[in-house]
A and B are shown apart, each in its own frame.
Chain A
């Protein structure tokens, strides 16, 4: 029994080393060799390694009945059941709470000139100078990230740091992950526009997605 267990813990550690080397090779292919195509073929290596791991682990993992020691079957007590219910309900309630509290309200955009808040307050939009285009590099996949860097787009994170949120700013995201930054100024103009999804970044700064871009495009 203990020999089998030794094999299994060693196997787990060896598989961990395999996964670590997989990550290291992936990063090497992307950042040093810049070979994105080759990194896709790593999936075959990963599948082969995983199948071998599963086959060997099921062979070495012992069955309790074969060991001669009477099998100890844990009884499901009321405390266990209560603990499981509490843990599951914690996860489920958190999910629904976060979903209901962070649901985006209906903001409106009028021809890239005005942003209208759900309470009717309007802001006039003026592009950030000298260039208002940026990219959320960390949210992009590697190929899109490379393309954005080739275009010389700054990271939206840096734009956000340099310009702060005073005066308020608007990050407008398009489906292809490009982002445009606008300064917002309070205006008395009463207007309406097309509805779009927005979240408040701070008291008066916003992140919005132009349809058909959706929140799921970003973190």
Chain B
């Protein structure tokens, strides 16, 4: 009787784990798809920029890129938590952190340039661009820090 009970408990646990894993993967897939959609919206805005030469389109593109970046970072964080092998998880987390740091440096670099233009010409549009880029860089650093602190 005891053996039967423990077998059914193990089967139920496996079922739960499978369902949870499926939920995680579906969420990750959805976030990835959504981030692709936002990156494409950014591309449309940048196409408008080359056609009409209105810098407001950079602001719109950066906004869309920010949302795409956040969704991408969160989906990566979720998918890393779902990796069961601790060694593999740590290796992947280290690569992710390095990658996110590189992108955040790029964000801060371009932010410095647009802040320069904003201060030089007192152009508020460029200040908004700078803030968006700084925001993107900061969020990526925060997600990286979270990955490091969790020790995934």
Main secondary structure of the interface of A (DSSP, over half): helix
Q: Does A2 contact B (CB under 8 A)?
A: yes
Q: Does B76 contact A (CB under 8 A)?
A: yes
Q: Which residues of A are found within 8 Å of B32, using beta-carbon distances? A: 5, 8-9, 12, 61
Q: Which of A16, A20, A141 contacts B52 (CB 8 A)?
A: A141
- B52 in contact with A74 (CB, 8 Å): no
Q: Which residues of B are found within 8 Å of A6, using beta-carbon distances? A: 92
Q: How far is the CA of A51 from the CA of B25 in the complex (A)?
A: 26
Q: Does A150 contact B (CB under 8 A)?
A: no
Q: Which residues of B are found within 8 Å of A19, using beta-carbon distances? A: 39, 42-43, 46, 61, 65
- In the complex, number of A-B residue pairs with CB atoms less than 8 Å apart: 129
Q: Which residues of B are found within 8 Å of A189, using beta-carbon distances? A: none
- B19 in contact with A72 (CB, 8 Å): yes
- B26 in contact with A72 (CB, 8 Å): yes
- B125 in contact with A138 (CB, 8 Å): yes
Interface residues on B, range: 35 or more
- B46 in contact with A5 (CB, 8 Å): no
Q: Which of B108-142 contact A (CB under 8 A)?
A: 110, 113-114, 117, 123-125, 133
Closest Cβ of chain B to A149, distance in Å, is 10
Instruction: Output the residue of A12, A26, A64 with the most chain B CB within 10 A.
Output: A12
- A138 in contact with B124 (CB, 8 Å): yes
